[in-house]
Amino acid sequence: MPVLSGSVVLVTGANGGLGRELVEQALARGAAKVYATARRPREWNDPRVVPLTLDVTDADSIRAAVAQAQDVTVLINNAGMSLASDTLMALSDEEIRDVMETNFFGPVALTRAFAPVLATSSTSAVLNIHSPLSWIALTGAYSASKAALWSATNSFRVELAPQGTQVTGVHVGYMDTAMAKGVNAPKTSPEEVAWKSFDGLEQGDYEVIVDEISAGVKLGLSGPISDLYPALPANAPA
């Protein structure tokens, strides 16, 4: 099982609300080094933190990060984006592609690129940040991107198991960060999300369900579609 003590962690989107917390808590759990990656990296004033430029949508940027970070043992795909107004009918093709590039193709490309690096470590892990929106489409592009990422996590978990890399998916509803600043609903603190994510990772959990919203939506998948989507009639019109 991967432990964070002595590990070398790479966090994408490390300047964001959850990203900052993942960097700090990885260090608190004994990580030897954390690559805090961002499109515009900040100073961390901690010798254990290596700021690294990484745009998850840019293949050259990913190649450069892999070349510089050949000692990574834990990859955290945290970077993500959402759009304020998000319905598939209203968004432009380009907007939908932007969301998919950041939330799906980026983490997939990073996982593929870092897999050989992770394989060189006796214990290694990938941590992917999902949402209950992986399971319920309350937004258009964002939900689709998190559903696709969840599926990719499931594939990578099986594909990377033979090389000893654990793949863990985190599902969290609203979180108190910039991404959800316009949302007026209960939110989990990024501190709690990072803490539960790392507990799950270190316990060898394949999935971390952070909050009741995520647990409830997952349970709801076994029921009728119209229960998940009350705006629908109980049966599709003939």
Nearer to ligand NAP, 2 or 19 (CB): 19
31 CA to centre of own chain: 19
**What's the rounded Cα separation, in Å, for the pair 62 and 85?**
29
Cβ atoms of 57 and 106 within 8 Å: the answer is yes
Rounded to 10°, the helix 106-119/59-68 angle is: 20
Q: Which class for 154: exposed (0-12), middle (13-18), buried (19 or more C-beta within 10 A)?
A: middle
Is 174 among the catalytic positions? no
Question: Which residues, other chains included, contact 100 with Cβ-Cβ below 8 Å and sequence gap of 6+?
Answer: 141, 144, 145, 148
Min dist. Cβ of residue 13 to ligand NAP (A) = 3
Nearer to ligand NAP, 16 or 140 (CB): 16
Q: Which of 35, 142, 174, 206 is catalytic?
A: 142
Paired strand residues for 75: 10, 126
Interacting residues toward ligand NAP by CB under 6 A: 12-13, 15-19, 38-40, 54-57, 78-81, 102, 129, 131, 172, 174-175, 177-180
Min dist. Cβ of residue 44 to ligand NAP (A) = 14
Nearer to ligand NAP, 55 or 121 (CB): 55
Min dist. Cβ of residue 150 to ligand NAP (A) = 11
Residues with catalytic annotation?
Answer: 142
